[in-house]
Chain A
């Protein structure tokens, strides 16, 4: 049984550019197993430990254009969840809501990945969507394609 870490976080950044960001996980983690079976899993909360969670957190860098350095500039809070993954898992699916109240930008994301040994997710595909309805529709397509 392997595991990966997934995150929700908030950061009020004033340097070098003002950003007021909230990245919120949506729903449970979805794991597609060999043979097409799909399971939904809750994560186990863990206290954020920068040395342990830095790389898994930053595996989301390219998705949200945000690094640990950005987050840590001023006020921030990070919620870490550890998700156990069965050995026969073939894909991991995570959903996020991204909001920046400074720019008024809001987007929904679906990440499809595989497990990396260090608790990170290797991102295979990434979808940026503009509404919750679009998110639901795309998720159904992804699951039926994977299962």
Chain B
């Protein structure tokens, strides 16, 4: 089989979205049916099967199970083994092309065992697509899928008003030294520091450049990585093909076809045009030295780079003069570099602004991408090149398709992005969903727009929005540079509108996990409007060396244990239950009513939850006064009795009488004392009353964890049980962990096919995409009473200087204005 090519031009599917802007929902139905199968992954081109090899257990490892998983490098299907070692659960797989990959699956084997007792499998769904490929290349949903949808994500736009490093795929960063300060900066951040006063026109290259002072990048100097001076920062517009070069070690760089890459040939290093590179060519990757590990405060993500067509500098110099050629023939290492080989070259269409650096190094070589040595002068490509924003008629078709799910049509939809509040018709989308009968609608946002627009939360609430899912990565500007300053104002406006909010932190070990206790404290402080804190351990995108992954990776049990520590045991590890632990409630209701019920049958390792109540200064988890295990077991027994024909009236009577016994009354918080609590439980658990569930949420704080997978810990057993799905523009339903773990095969391909080139989109709306980028007035925000009050008792806002605020915002990519 040939090399996988995972990117396909928009034109391959024959969809011209510009001509569909006035199309009706029925037209989208026809198009969806036409392209659905064409958009699906193809064997050979997108993936290969390597199922003959089965990884073996090693000494000290205890088998849990075998499974299948995708290769992080070529996306091919591999066998994997899940096992216990040193008190943790691990997953290991081996790709014949890319070697062995081992990753922590769950950071605590004891909690893994506890959670595994709660697995309930669903009855599956009526498939949307025929079975034509192995899992996970057949998503749509197919006959293998075990869980029906609990929540559908509807992507309203791929536009975003931020340029955050974990928000946009392939965000661009480079290690630079500014004076004595070593920083990992995006090219856009870097460019913002300089004025591009000079025009440049050499050959076909036309652009502008700035002359930086005291700026250095890592150059290739006599086989060593050394700081070299940057003499120019250049930028220009570029439209055409770019090549994505991936090495056996999984390092990637994106360059224009003319760009030169350092290649080892006959013991010499030569600079070769990217479009003349071949699979197997030897290239140089930086080895991760202690110096670099220290310098990178966090790991280097997959940096995408595009090269200029400039041929203004010498591009053919060999490194004979550096006296290293004779040593390179047999060595696997070359100074600070590893001799790597090209494993894959893909072509992608590109349109956007690209950046370039001119460096002052004799070799004219420096380190780019995630560690590859390339030639002086390259460009960064910062945009995906299209806007995906389905029209309201298109959304009507997607709603129709989501509601077609059987045996249980979905009841909850999350409108997401990009940043969905960038759409002027967001309220109308909520209305469409509500009119179609969707019971629960939530909007996933940074909340920045809510901070400034008091009317928007009111309108959304009026249209039927149930809750807002708002990003919230920590309590300080350093851990939450995305929206630290705006959160208080957004909360205030949501409070005025009576629109509840769930705060959603992405957890990165060593970055914001030390603030878990404070995040809970902040949520409790704002419990009048904050309904929950739903934590998401980081899902690693792009390719990353193991050591760096270990530095960032945190799994659900580790976060739970950290919370136990940071709350002084008020919320202990025993208080958490996996998502499917509530399945007996649905199973019972289904047995009682005879109607298929929404049942949370996701994999036990995907998520965890608990509820906490405030009792004075203390937090009381629900598990301290409700005997969850016994109660769920009892419901299971009753469901089984109903299934075998026992009278419904008798079963309900028994339950009503027994319900009190599952409550430990001496530990019940004061606010819940009395019959009201039992009545509430009865209404929720027996009547399955959505209103009572809402009432319950007003009294308590939901704490949740949802660990989305990535290519390193990917497990098909989890994918097949996923109950958070995306509705695709062609009408398919894709599990979250296929949509985002294999974006090249699902998300990007479909959005590109139904997207509009940026330039065309800008012509239509009369605004440039970059004009939406948010600029922050920090001084104004931190001086406000709302800001100070929101963080009072959580952090000392006066201990952070204005300059520190500004640096935090800028480092993240959001410019600061006065």
Using CB atoms and an 8 Å cutoff, list the residues of chain A in contact with chain B: 13-17, 50-51, 54-55, 58-59, 61-62, 65, 67-70, 72-74, 120
Q: Which residues on A sit within 8 Å (CB–CB) of B657?
A: none
Sample of 17 A–B contacts (CB below 8 Å): A15-B65, A17-B119, A17-B121, A50-B51, A51-B49, A51-B52, A54-B134, A58-B134, A59-B143, A61-B143, A62-B127, A69-B67, A72-B66, A72-B79, A74-B63, A74-B66, A120-B131
Most chain B CB within a 10 A radius of its CB, from A67, A68, A70, A74:
A67
Task: Confirm or deny: B366 has a beta carbon within 8 angstroms of a beta carbon on chain A.
Answer: no
Proximity bits, B668-688, A CB within 8 Å = 1, else 0? 000000000000000000000
Q: Which residues on A sit within 8 Å (CB–CB) of B51?
A: 50-51, 54
Interface residues on chain B, size class: 20 to 34
Task: Confirm or deny: B120 has a beta carbon within 8 angstroms of a beta carbon on chain A.
Answer: yes
Return the contact of A65 from the options B79, B123, B717 (Cβ within 8 A).
Answer: B123
Q: Which residues on B sit within 8 Å (CB–CB) of A74?
A: 63, 65-66
Q: Are B127 and A67 in contact (CB under 8 A)?
A: no
Return the contact of A17 from the options B63, B120, B134, B143 (Cβ within 8 A).
Answer: B120
**Within residues 142 to 170 of chain B, which ones have a CB less than 8 A from any CB in chain A?**
143-144, 146
Q: Are A67 and B720 in contact (CB under 8 A)?
A: yes
Return the contact of A16 from the options B124, B131, B144, B603 (Cβ within 8 A).
Answer: B603
> How far, in Å, is A55 (CB) from chain B's closest CB?
6
Proximity bits, B716-749, A CB within 8 Å = 1, else 0? 1100110000000000000000000000000000
> How far, in Å, is B95 (CB) from chain A's closest CB?
15
Proximity bits, B594-621, A CB within 8 Å = 1, else 0? 0000000001110000000000000000
Rounded to whole angstroms, the CA-CA distance of A23 and B229 in the bound complex is 69
Q: Are A69 and B716 in contact (CB under 8 A)?
A: yes
Task: Confirm or deny: B626 has a beta carbon within 8 angstroms of a beta carbon on chain A.
Answer: no
Since A15-B67, A55-B132, A69-B716 are in contact, a sample of 5 more A-B pairs with Cβ atoms closer than 8 Å, ordered by chain A residue number, is: A58-B135, A62-B124, A72-B79, A73-B66, A74-B66
Rounded to whole angstroms, the CA-CA distance of A65 and B721 in the bound complex is 12
Task: Confirm or deny: B116 has a beta carbon within 8 angstroms of a beta carbon on chain A.
Answer: yes
Q: Are B131 and A65 in contact (CB under 8 A)?
A: no
The answer to whether residues A62 and B120 also contact, given A55-B131, A73-B66, A73-B67 and a CB cut-off of 8 A, is no
The answer to whether residues A16 and B721 also contact, given A54-B134, A55-B134, A61-B131 and a CB cut-off of 8 A, is yes
Q: Which residues on B sit within 8 Å (CB–CB) of A15?
A: 64-65, 67, 82, 116, 717
Proximity bits, B109-147, A CB within 8 Å = 1, else 0? 000000010011101100100011111000000011010
Task: Confirm or deny: B471 has a beta carbon within 8 angstroms of a beta carbon on chain A.
Answer: no
The answer to whether residues A73 and B717 also contact, given A17-B119, A55-B134, A65-B146 and a CB cut-off of 8 A, is yes
Rounded to whole angstroms, the CA-CA distance of A29 and B259 in the bound complex is 62
Total residue contacts A-B, CB cutoff 8 A: 77
Q: Are A65 and B66 in contact (CB under 8 A)?
A: no
Using CB atoms and an 8 Å cutoff, list the residues of chain B in contact with chain A: 49, 51-52, 63-68, 79, 82, 116, 119-121, 123-124, 127, 131-135, 143-144, 146, 603-605, 716-717, 720-721
> How far, in Å, is B632 (CB) from chain A's closest CB?
15
Rounded to whole angstroms, the CA-CA distance of A73 and B65 in the bound complex is 5
Rounded to whole angstroms, the CA-CA distance of A74 and B52 in the bound complex is 16
Q: Which residue of B lies closest to A72 (CB)?
A: B66
The answer to whether residues A69 and B720 also contact, given A14-B65, A16-B119, A58-B131 and a CB cut-off of 8 A, is yes
Q: Are A62 and B143 in contact (CB under 8 A)?
A: yes
Rounded to whole angstroms, the CA-CA distance of A55 and B134 in the bound complex is 7
> How far, in Å, is B282 (CB) from chain A's closest CB?
32
Q: Are B146 and A59 in contact (CB under 8 A)?
A: no
Q: Are B131 and A59 in contact (CB under 8 A)?
A: yes
Closest 7 CB pairs of A and B: A15-B65, A62-B143, A17-B119, A73-B65, A50-B51, A67-B144, A69-B716
Q: Which residues on B sit within 8 Å (CB–CB) of A16?
A: 65, 116, 119, 603-605, 717, 721
Q: Are B65 and A61 in contact (CB under 8 A)?
A: no
Rounded to whole angstroms, the CA-CA distance of A29 and B501 in the bound complex is 58
> How far, in Å, is B763 (CB) from chain A's closest CB?
46
> How far, in Å, is A117 (CB) from chain B's closest CB?
11
Q: Are A65 and B65 in contact (CB under 8 A)?
A: no
> How far, in Å, is B720 (CB) from chain A's closest CB?
6
Rounded to whole angstroms, the CA-CA distance of A13 and B116 in the bound complex is 13
> How far, in Å, is B442 (CB) from chain A's closest CB?
28
Q: Which residues on A sit within 8 Å (CB–CB) of B52?
A: 50-51
Q: Are A65 and B82 in contact (CB under 8 A)?
A: no
Q: Which residue of B lies closest to A18 (CB)?
A: B119
Q: Which residues on B sit within 8 Å (CB–CB) of A73?
A: 65-67, 717
Q: Which residues on A sit within 8 Å (CB–CB) of B135?
A: 58, 67-69
Q: Which residue of B lies closest to A13 (CB)?
A: B65
The answer to whether residues A61 and B717 also contact, given A55-B131, A73-B66 and a CB cut-off of 8 A, is no
Rounded to whole angstroms, the CA-CA distance of A74 and B66 in the bound complex is 6
Q: Which residues on A sit within 8 Å (CB–CB) of B146?
A: 65
Rounded to whole angstroms, the CA-CA distance of A15 and B717 in the bound complex is 9
Q: Which residues on A sit within 8 Å (CB–CB) of B721?
A: 16
Most chain A CB within a 10 A radius of its CB, from B49, B116, B123, B143:
B143
Q: Are B720 and A58 in contact (CB under 8 A)?
A: no
Q: Which residues on B sit within 8 Å (CB–CB) of A50?
A: 49, 51-52
> How far, in Å, is A6 (CB) from chain B's closest CB?
16
Q: Which residue of B lies closest to A59 (CB)?
A: B131
Q: Are A61 and B604 in contact (CB under 8 A)?
A: no
Rounded to whole angstroms, the CA-CA distance of A15 and B134 in the bound complex is 20
> How far, in Å, is B134 (CB) from chain A's closest CB?
5
Q: Which residue of A lies closest to B68 (CB)?
A: A69
Rounded to whole angstroms, the CA-CA distance of A61 and B605 in the bound complex is 23
Q: Are A65 and B121 in contact (CB under 8 A)?
A: yes
Most chain B CB within a 10 A radius of its CB, from A51, A67, A69, A72:
A69
Q: Which residues on A sit within 8 Å (CB–CB) of B716?
A: 69
> How far, in Å, is A119 (CB) from chain B's closest CB?
12
Rounded to whole angstroms, the CA-CA distance of A58 and B68 in the bound complex is 14
The answer to whether residues A69 and B717 also contact, given A15-B82, A17-B121 and a CB cut-off of 8 A, is yes
Q: Which residues on B sit within 8 Å (CB–CB) of A51?
A: 49, 51-52
The answer to whether residues A58 and B66 also contact, given A15-B717, A16-B116, A17-B119 and a CB cut-off of 8 A, is no
Rounded to whole angstroms, the CA-CA distance of A15 and B66 in the bound complex is 9
Rounded to whole angstroms, the CA-CA distance of A141 and B124 in the bound complex is 28
> How far, in Å, is A10 (CB) from chain B's closest CB?
16
Rounded to whole angstroms, the CA-CA distance of A68 and B604 in the bound complex is 19
> How far, in Å, is B450 (CB) from chain A's closest CB?
39
Most chain B CB within a 10 A radius of its CB, from A13, A14, A59, A73:
A73
> How far, in Å, is B721 (CB) from chain A's closest CB?
7
> How far, in Å, is A138 (CB) from chain B's closest CB?
22
Rounded to whole angstroms, the CA-CA distance of A62 and B406 in the bound complex is 13
Q: Which residue of B lies closest to A15 (CB)?
A: B65
> How far, in Å, is B656 (CB) from chain A's closest CB?
29
Q: Which residue of A lies closest to B51 (CB)?
A: A50
Q: Which residues on A sit within 8 Å (CB–CB) of B67?
A: 15, 69, 72-73
> How far, in Å, is B55 (CB) from chain A's closest CB?
12
Rounded to whole angstroms, the CA-CA distance of A55 and B142 in the bound complex is 12
Q: Which residues on B sit within 8 Å (CB–CB) of A17?
A: 119-121
Rounded to whole angstroms, the CA-CA distance of A58 and B120 in the bound complex is 21
Q: Which residues on A sit within 8 Å (CB–CB) of B123?
A: 65
Rounded to whole angstroms, the CA-CA distance of A68 and B68 in the bound complex is 9
Q: Which residues on B sit within 8 Å (CB–CB) of A65?
A: 121, 123-124, 146
> How far, in Å, is A19 (CB) from chain B's closest CB?
8
Q: Which residue of B lies closest to A63 (CB)?
A: B143
Q: Which residues on A sit within 8 Å (CB–CB) of B605?
A: 16
Rounded to whole angstroms, the CA-CA distance of A72 and B67 in the bound complex is 7
Rounded to whole angstroms, the CA-CA distance of A132 and B64 in the bound complex is 36
The answer to whether residues A72 and B82 also contact, given A16-B603, A62-B124, A120-B131 and a CB cut-off of 8 A, is no
Rounded to whole angstroms, the CA-CA distance of A61 and B125 in the bound complex is 11
